[in-house]
Amino acid sequence: MGLTCSSCKRKSIVDLYHVEKTSNNQVVVALAGNPNTGKSTIFNELTGLKQHTGNWPGKTVTNAKGFHKRKDKEFIIVDLPGTYSLLANSVEEEVARDFICFAKPDATIVVVDATCLERNLNLVLQVIEITNRVILCVNLLDEAEKKHIKIDLKKLSDELGIPVVGTIARNRKGLETLMDTVYNVCTKKIIPRPTPIPYPKTIETELQKILSMIEPLVPNDFNPRWVALRLLDGDTDILDKIKHFTDCKGACKHA
């Protein structure tokens, strides 16, 4: 802990988001989602801890970490702060984005509120642009039922190209299926294939231009299309971070 990058003296981004694995049986699972969708409820049910709402302590991810044993695996579960997007407009968004991007969890569960799926899916689409190891958890199904909202989970899964599990976290309903699915993704028994998100033609044309320039420069660990999208969005900070990450990786004990 506390390593600084020798080349720039900043706290190493590798160290900042590193989750220590003490054995080969451990896998890292991130819980992402909009605020108030039930992430901490799921985290607490799975880990037996008592994580409170909105208690994200700065950028430290280690304080939101717990363990859950399943078959031969031990999941190290990280409860990320609730965010509406991953555009890094706030510390919460930056932490959630950077954890998914740089800590490279073995799986990311995106928890959505079944009563306002459309708004929540915005974040899901942003996560699947970064990583394909995603499981969608449609929570608060009891509240949806009260509002006579029915969700076709199978169709949602087919449309998005990722596994989808329905839950009522408060009653533990669906959590076994959720973690079996996470297990299968972590052990590659299920390989999610997120549906590529098409953009309007003018954006796609510019994207291709940027992609042809950056593709040789972006390390294998990162999805170049996502990096190109960020650049098109004017987010040059991500390039600095990727460079910092790559530089630090060579020098860092966790690399």
Ligand X SMILES: Nc1nc2c(ncn2[C@@H]2O[C@H](COP(=O)(O)OP(=O)(O)OP(=O)(O)O)[C@@H](O)[C@H]2O)c(=O)[nH]1
Strands (E), 7-120: 26-33, 65-70, 73-79, 107-113
Task: Give me the least distance between CB of 98 and ligand X, in Å please.
Answer: 17
Q: Nearest-CA neighbor of 128 among 75, 167, 86?
A: 86
Query: Angle at the Cα of 36 (from 91 to 122), degrees rounded to 5?
Result: 70
Among 12, 17, 18, 40, interactor with ligand X by CB under 6 A:
40
Among 12, 18, 27, 33, interactor with ligand X by CB under 6 A:
33
**What is the C-alpha to C-alpha distance for residues 247 and 255, in angstroms, rounded to an integer?**
11
With binding defined as CB under 6 A, does residue 131 bind ligand X? Answer: no
* Among 121-129, 164-172, 231-239, 240-248, the segment contacting ligand X (CB under 6 A): 164-172
With binding defined as CB under 6 A, does residue 39 bind ligand X? Answer: yes
Task: Give me the least distance between CB of 21 and Mg ion, in Å please.
Answer: 24
With binding defined as CB under 6 A, does residue 115 bind ligand X? Answer: no
Among 34, 40, 126, 167, interactor with Mg ion by CB under 5 A:
40
What is the full DSSP assignment across 23-56?
A: STTEEEEEEEESTTSSHHHHHHHHH---PPTT--
Q: Nearest-CA neighbor of 132 among 102, 161, 175, 156?
A: 161
3-state SS assignment for residue 140: coil
105 binds, among Mg ion, ligand X, none (CB under 5 to 8 A by kind): none
Q: Where along the sequence are the contacts to ligand X (CB under 6 A)?
A: 33, 35-41, 53-54, 82, 139-140, 142-143, 168-170
Q: Where along the sequence are the contacts to Mg ion (CB under 5 A)?
A: 39-40, 53
